Amino acid sequence: MMNQASEAWSEFKAMDELAGQASVIHRLHPLVKLLVTIVYIAAAVSFPKYNLSGLLVMVLYPVFVFQASLIPIRTCFRKMRVVLPLVCAVGLFNPFFDRAPLFMLGGLAVSGGVVSMLSLMMKGIFSLMASFLLIATTPIESLCQALRQMHVPKILVTLLLLTYRYISVLLEELSVMLDAYHLRAPGQKGIHVSAWGAFLGQLLLRSMDRASALYESMQLRGWSGAFYYVRGGRLTVTSLLYGVFWIALFLLARLVNLSQLLGTLLV
């Protein structure tokens, strides 16, 4: 059985693997993808709570990107276990508190609470899928490049890049420590209270040494505080069109209930 650190580590590697593929979506400019994702999430969560049919149109974006990027959809659902419980827990109360009927379905009245619960859950799933798809199709270097272009302070972007690199090192180190601990303490669920301080403390002290070695190694290679990023491809026409298309669609869907419109045309 894997410990939590090595589980997180393999999850990390899996994301990296996905981001390293070369689909149509992967080749798009990172800034365009970042902006599309942000607009998508903002548009999706801003739908009124009873506007379920309007919100449904937003499903088209993740479905399209999943298919075009060849990312397996189940990897995303695994990630939802973390944050979805909170969304569901909050949403589950709506049917109890908001019982005024909103519309009839068959002979049954559907209450506002049920609709708002469903739309809350959909928002949760949609926004999660969107950020998952961004990371699964964009390597960290490209993402940092996009963040710089959005004028996120240099020190934060550099810190993000360095931290990302060292998370893998420390997760590996910690996973070895956890295995070593549990081999000598069979049957213990977690770290015993007598070792609370020393366990993480030891790793912290060693990490401090690592940090100074890292700083030395940067100094020796002439570092003076600046970092150079790989400049990814230029903003292509395809990327631009992609961005404009989706953002326009999101805004349109937010302003006009497209499902409703489509239905009215047919009825």
Partner 1 sequence: MHMADALLAPAVAATMYAASAVATGVSIRELRKDETPQKLPTMAVMAALVFAGQMINYAIPGTGSSGHLCGGMMLTAVLGPFAGFLSMIVILAIQALFFADGGLLALGANIWNMSFYGCFAGYFLIYRPILRGGLFSGRGRRAAVRLRIILASVLGCVATLQLGAFSVVLETALSGVTELPFGAFVAVMQPIHLAIGLVEGLVTAAVLVFIYESRPELLMDVDPDAGAAGRRSAASTLVVLAVVVAVVGGGFSLLASGNPDGLEWSMFGNAESGYSANMGLDEARFGVESSAADTVAALQEKVSFLPDYAFANDAENPVGTTVSGLLGSALVAGAALLIAFAGGFFRKKAGAQKS
Partner 2 sequence: MLEFEHVFFSYEKEQPILTDVSFKIAPGEQLGLIGANGTGKSTILKILLGLLPCTGGVRVGGLPVEKACLPQIRRKLGYVLQDSDNQMFMPTVYEDMIFAPLNYGLSRTEADARVDETLQQLALTHLKRRHNHKMSGGEKRMAAIATILALRPEALLMDEPSIALDPCNRRRLIHILRALPLTKIIASHDLDLILETCDRVLLLSGGRIAADGPASELLRDRALLEAHRLELPLCLSGCPEGR
Which residues form the interface with partner 2 (CB under 8 A)?
13, 16, 20, 139-141, 161-162, 164-166, 168-169, 210, 213-214, 216-224, 226, 228-230
CA distance 155 to 148: 10
115 binds, among partner 1, partner 2, none (CB under 5 to 8 A by kind): none
> Cα–chain-centroid distance for residue 136?
9
Residue entry with tokens 């499902």: 259
Residue entry with tokens 């790793």: 203
59 binds, among partner 1, partner 2, none (CB under 5 to 8 A by kind): partner 1
Closest to 191 in 3D by CA, of 202, 199, 183:
199
Q: Of the ranges 7-15, 25-33, 234-242, 243-251, which one interacts with partner 1 (CB under 8 A)?
A: 7-15
Between 2 and 83, whose beta carbon lies closer to partner 2?
2
**Is residue 94 a contact partner of residue 117, using CB atoms and an 8 Å limit?**
yes
Q: Of the ranges 25-33, 209-217, 228-236, 238-246, which one interacts with partner 1 (CB under 8 A)?
A: 209-217
264 binds, among partner 2, partner 1, none (CB under 5 to 8 A by kind): partner 1
Q: Of the candidates 29, 36, 127, 246, which one interacts with partner 1 according to CB under 8 A?
A: 127
5 binds, among partner 2, partner 1, none (CB under 5 to 8 A by kind): partner 1
Residue entry with tokens 């869907």: 253
Positions 56 through 95 that interact with partner 1 (CB under 8 A): 56-57, 59-60, 63-64, 66-68, 70, 79-80, 82-95
Q: Which long-range contacts (CB under 8 A, 24 or more apart) does 206-214 make?
A: 206/173, 207/170, 210/166, 210/169
199 binds, among partner 2, partner 1, none (CB under 5 to 8 A by kind): partner 1
Positions 226 through 255 that interact with partner 1 (CB under 8 A): none
Residue 149 is a binding residue for partner 1 (CB under 8 A) = no
Min separation Cβ 27 and partner 2, Å: 15
**Is residue 54 a contact partner of residue 258, using CB atoms and an 8 Å limit?**
yes
Q: What does the DSSP 8-state code read for residue 206?
A: H
Between 234 and 265, whose beta carbon lies closer to partner 1?
265
Tokens read off for 151? 């004028």
- Judged by DSSP in three states, 104 sits in strand
CA distance 79 to 118: 20
Residue entry with tokens 């999943």: 66
